[in-house]
Amino acid sequence: MRVAVIGAGVVGVTTAYFLAQNGHQVSVIEQRGNVSEEASLGHAGLLGAAHLTPFAAPGMPKQILSHFFKTDGAINLRPSVNVTHWRWLRSWLRECSLEGLLANKEKMQRLGRYSQQLLSELSHSHNLDFQQRSGILQLFRNVKEQKKIIAGLALLSDADLPFQQLDTAACHQLEPALNKDTSLAGGLYLPQDGNGNCVLFTKQLKLVAQQLGVEFEFLTKCEQIIPNKNGATLHLKKAEQTGQQQFDAVVLASGASSTPFLKNIGINLRIAQFQSYSNTANIKNLDDSPRLSIIDESEQIAITRMDKRIRIAGTLHLGKRKNTADERAWQKLRNVGTDWFPDAANYHTGQNWSGHHLMLSDSTPVLGRSAVKNIFVNCAHAEYGWAMATGSGKILADLISGKSPEIDLDGLTVLR
């Protein structure tokens, strides 16, 4: 089949790779000049299944409310007049029960484990090298935060995902560079999770995909998808030139820009756009830098190593924010970096970045067939698109090739 994948972020490139492996003729349509130039560019790089946690959880509404009147830039869910935001918030509140948390975490871990296994196979078979590091240490600044994770630990055991609950001293022993002056109640060590450089991975996989025959059409924007009985016609624009191309099937992997396309193909799930931020600074003292990937659970901010750089990423703003909000978010990241690793880098000279992603109220992506024949979706991976990309890509390729996906898709499709 002739298949178009719209979007060359990590999700689009992995989908194209698996489609080509199944013998399809694949074109990736990308408006930017290369792969991974949008949300896949500057994120924290966290990988694995055990740390995947839905944004909706008991206690979260209270935590969010406390941020309503703060201007520290950490979490900002203040809805605008936008009716989509209000609908998303209402639906998100319904997911904030214990049952919701456990059900959504199970779905995320199902896809995360599958992705982890495929990523390992892919890296091995193509000798991919993308600065992988093992081990995530989740930190809790107080006992109240620490207690919140207890409900999810049984799911980790059920899924055979190893973990270790640590007291303060054990956290410092495992991660000696952690600042002893910052209050810490304890941690959770996830040895099978870790992080990696998503841009390096995507660029390497692009080369492998090209060797399999995948064509990348860069600087080309898909303006419209017109379904027809033989598939769909794409209206494309490249350097002021417009044209049309017919495909047998189309995969939407267009990240945060997917909303108008999703509406046109009748997908009416509660999806909202979010903005998150990162700061990447060169390491100045290796001995004072993290060895593991750190997640400050109380602040919902990650600190990861990218070879000789440190990346601090997180903060969550509903919709698009004004520049002043951006500045506060980056300041928050620098503060958290300084809290835990004060001498590792000059964070104020680091590179500021922000990216957009789509999140459903249950935090799980939308995968598979849409209501329109031959149009498929692979979107809304929220804050975990890199950790879920390989599984999502393989599932899409299997469905398009008429094969049964290797994992249960219950709760991950358009029907939920």
Binding site for ligand FAD (CB under 6 A): 6-12, 29-32, 37-40, 43-46, 221-222, 253-257, 276-278, 302, 313, 355, 357, 381, 383-387
Q: Show Cβ contacts of residue 154 under 8 Å, excluding neighbours closer than 6 positions.
A: none
Helices and strands: H and E segment counts in the chain: 11, 19
End-to-end CA distance of the chain: 29
CB of 330 to ligand FAD, least distance (A): 11
Of residues 17 and 386, the one with the C-beta less far from ligand FAD = 386
Please say whether the beta carbons of 371 and 414 come within 8 A.
yes
Which is nearest to 225 in space by CA: 256, 196, 258, 193? 258
Of residues 94 and 201, the one with the C-beta less far from ligand FAD = 201
**Could you please report the per-residue DSSP string of 339-383?**
HH-TTTB-GGGSEEEEEEEEEETT---EEEE-SSTTEEEEE--GG
Of residues 5 and 178, the one with the C-beta less far from ligand FAD = 5
Please say whether the beta carbons of 89 and 76 come within 8 A.
no
CB of 55 to ligand FAD, least distance (A): 12
CB of 282 to ligand FAD, least distance (A): 19
Rounded Cα gap, residues 293 and 216, in angstroms: 33
Beta bridge partners of 138: 188, 295
Of residues 176 and 243, the one with the C-beta less far from ligand FAD = 243
Of residues 7 and 186, the one with the C-beta less far from ligand FAD = 7
Q: What is the DSSP letter of 286?
A: G
CB of 181 to ligand FAD, least distance (A): 27
- Is residue 259 classed exposed, middle or buried when 0-12, 13-18 and 19+ CB atoms within 10 A define those classes? middle
Give the CA dihedral 84, 88, 89, 92, nearest 10 degrees: 180
Please say whether the beta carbons of 195 and 304 come within 8 A.
yes
CB of 7 to ligand FAD, least distance (A): 3
Of residues 298 and 300, the one with the C-beta less far from ligand FAD = 300
CB of 38 to ligand FAD, least distance (A): 3
Tokens representing 142 are 């107080």
CB of 277 to ligand FAD, least distance (A): 5
CB of 91 to ligand FAD, least distance (A): 20
CB of 169 to ligand FAD, least distance (A): 28
Rounded Cα gap, residues 138 and 237, in angstroms: 45
Tokens representing 67 are 């941020």
Of residues 134 and 168, the one with the C-beta less far from ligand FAD = 134
What letter represents residue 223's amino acid? Answer: E
Of residues 150 and 239, the one with the C-beta less far from ligand FAD = 239
Region of 231 please: left (phi>0), alpha (psi -120 to 50) or beta: left
Of residues 53 and 289, the one with the C-beta less far from ligand FAD = 53
